[in-house]
Amino acid sequence: MAIIRLETRIHAPIEICFDISRDIDVHIKSTKHTGETAIAGTITGLIGLGESVTWRARHLGIWQTLTSKITAFNYPVYFTDEMVQGAFTSFKHEHIFEAKENSTLMTDVFRFESPLGMLGKLANHLFLTTYMRNLLVHRNEVIKKEAERLALLKNEA
């Protein structure tokens, strides 16, 4: 199983960061380059405990469909989404939020297992882990920008 851990410092309140991270519309914006769309389940707005979303996107040149479900939820510090159907053997994405001095530390722990046994492990090593890390880094940049924009608007009001 491959594990990716990322930490992102965001200059916004924890509640804003938490909500932006579970916003389907922001996710679509962050994956625009893959043509990702939400096609079933919760397809817009905030997703919550027990809810699922089915995504369709082009990754590595192949159109894929993946359904994930929110399996753990503790507002505003933690939520987990897990694949229930898709190309991976499994994936679990933990989203952890900690309020710090005038900011929020957002931590992603993304665990995934590729299909095809040893061939899948080789793909992880050669390119898939880097590809997934880059997707998450880009996603976090979009979340950070949107959360900081909203925090600024809130402070100006």
Q: Give me the tens of pLDDT residue by residue for the chain, a chain 157 residues long.
A: 899 999 999 999 999 999 999 999 999 999 999 999 999 999 999 999 999 999 999 998 889 999 999 999 999 999 999 999 998 999 999 999 999 988 999 999 999 998 877 776 777 777 889 999 999 999 999 999 999 999 998 888 6
Helix (H) or strand (E) holding 82: strand 78-85
Q: Which residues of 105-123 are buried (b: 16+ CB within 10 A; e: fewer)?
A: ebebebbbebeeeeebeeb
pTM: 0.94
Helix (H) or strand (E) holding 80: strand 78-85
Q: How far apart are CA 36 and CA 54, in angstroms?
A: 10
